[in-house]
A = this chain, B = another copy of it.
Amino acid sequence: MSELTALNVAATPIEKFQEFLVTRGMRMTRERNIIVEEVFASHEHFDAEQLVEQLSRRRDSRRVSRSTVFRTLRQLVEAGLLRSVARQDGREVYEHDYGYPQHDHLICRKCGTLIEFHNSQIRDILEEVARERGFRMEAHRLEVTGLCDNCCRPPASRPKKLNLL
């Protein structure tokens, strides 16, 4: 009888954002809509600059300014739709939070690749630690840095050439 009335289960990111905005007396604008669509069109990690790049040079009515991109990113994080997972080259790196399973990252310091991994024990341990300290945990950010499989070994890249002197 009701499609999605009281419970907002399986709400789209747009709907979720809408909800957030309404409760704050804010408005759903064309620009905010465009940004959410763009951001949730793929699951890639991204930074503000990349998004600005994609949105600020459009010539049609789907162009969004740099300021608005930054402003909206902040709001999306606050709304729980995005989360900032790392910092690379001085820029904050974002990814989907809403509707995406909890996980952390291995970050290759050489090629910059982000490898996602999930380990439920980590969450449990943190819950326990927080409880012991009377700390109310809200979120965590775990960046594991090192070298990915590819960047680990030396250039085993020239396989055929006989370099035995």
Contacts and interface: CB of A to CB of B under 8 A. Distances in A.
Contacts of A133: 106, 115, 117, 148-149
A67 interface: no
A28 interface: no
Interface of A: 87, 106, 108-109, 115, 117, 119, 121-122, 125-126, 129-130, 133-149, 152
Contacts of A142: 140-143
Contact of A146 (B122, B137, B146): B137
A152 B134 CA distance: 8
A47 to B, nearest CB: 15
Contacts of A146: 130, 135-139
Contacts of A148: 133-135
- By Cβ-Cβ distance, the 4 closest A-B pairs, closest first, are A134-B149, A138-B146, A137-B146, A136-B147
Contacts of A152: 134-136
Nearest to A86: B141
A138 B107 CA distance: 10
A143 B144 contact: no
A117 B133 CA distance: 9
A147 B135 contact: yes
Nearest to A92: B87
Contacts of A143: 140-142
A74 to B, nearest CB: 13
